[in-house]
Amino acid sequence: MNKDIATPIRTKEILNKYGFSFKKSLGQNFIIDPNILRNIVQHAHLTEESGAIEVGPGIGALTEHLARAAKKVVAFEIDQRLLPVLEDTLSPYNNVRVVHSDILKADVQSVIEQEMPDLKDIMVVANLPYYVTTPILIKLLTENLPIRGLVVMMQKEVADRITAQPGTKNYGSLSIAIQYYGTAEVAMIVPKTVFMPQPNVDSAVIRIIKHDQPPVKVITEEFFFEVTRASFAQRRKTILNNLQSGLTKGKEKKQYILDALESSGIDPSRRGETLSIEEFGKLADALYPYFF
Ligand code: SAM
């Protein structure tokens, strides 16, 4: 087996060879501990027939572990300076394709069709650039991609919000936005010391396994998410007050909202953080006729 990229010595060697300087604005914190990478990959349950999509390969630390575990790896990297580095560090692996692109602008569906046409099991596995964690997750979950799920490292605080359950302080519209698409759990907590440079925040890896069907069937997803966002706009306000100020359209709103809350069996004095996804689904559908 080839020498791991993710040791402090080898990482420094590679950075020096290419005169590479980290860009904070691109969330460049590279992993320098192969054990962490092995654990991340294990949580993805890849087989020799799996495909792996990586966001932000950096110098290839996680990419090579994915290349060893999966049949094919496609890695999207925004920073052009890393392309020659990756060409060099990943040269021992013939099953990796690096795509020079901002993941948020990439046509991931087409890339999967081209690069992994026969693979039935595809996972996203990444140490995400923390400044764009949420947009990346939302993109990858809403584009209806043929993926089983995601195993991704992020800021611990965001991981706690994504995986939070109703009635807890971290539960909010982000928990619902992600849990609507999949079952999310924290797989591991990662210390700052395994990164170069060390980030200022704690990190966690979460695993999201996509649902076959959403947990609630709603009239429109867009309005469902609008209702959840409005319900959490001010956490100390009741659901009634938040909906009254948050939902923009509609006349005689208060009575409509009260009727919808009643028909959904939700006490108007409750706060958004106590409602389950199912309750939000019922409420959004009950409100829908009044607003459209
Ligand atoms: N995978 C490497 C590792 O674990 O050591 C690097 C992870 S580092 C936290 C994030 C990587 O994402 C960097 O290589 C950065 O250049 C890249 N990146 C940042 N924004 C990106 C974007 N919008 N699209 C694709 N890659 C991006």
- Residue 97 and residue 87 in contact, taking contact as beta carbons nearer than 8 Å: no
> From the CA of 113, how far away is ligand 1's center (Å)?
23
Amino acid 121: pLDDT: 98
Amino acid 252: pLDDT: 67
- Residue 52 and residue 70 in contact, taking contact as beta carbons nearer than 8 Å: yes
- Write down the ipTM of this complex: 0.99
SS3 142: helix
Classify strands 30-31 and 195-196 as parallel, antiparallel or unpaired: antiparallel
- Tell whether ligand 1 has an atom less than 6 A from the beta carbon of residue 132: yes
Amino acid 291: pLDDT: 83
Known binding residue 29? Answer is yes
Tell me phi and psi for residue 122, to 5 degrees.
Answer: -125, 130
pTM score above 0.90: yes
Count of Cβ atoms closer than 10 Å to residue 205 Cβ: 23
Amino acid 3: pLDDT: 84
- Runs of H (alpha helix) within 163-268: 173-179, 221-231, 239-246, 253-263
Amino acid 2: pLDDT: 75
Q: What gap in Å lies between CA 279 and CA 285, rounded to an integer?
A: 10
> From the CA of 106, how far away is ligand 1's center (Å)?
14
Atom in ligand 1 nearest the alpha carbon of residue 6: 5
5 is written with which tokens? 């990229």
pLDDT at 251 over 70: no
State pLDDT tens for residues 18-39: 999 999 999 999 999 999 999 9
Element (H, E) at 188: strand 182-190
> From the CA of 210, how far away is ligand 1's center (Å)?
23
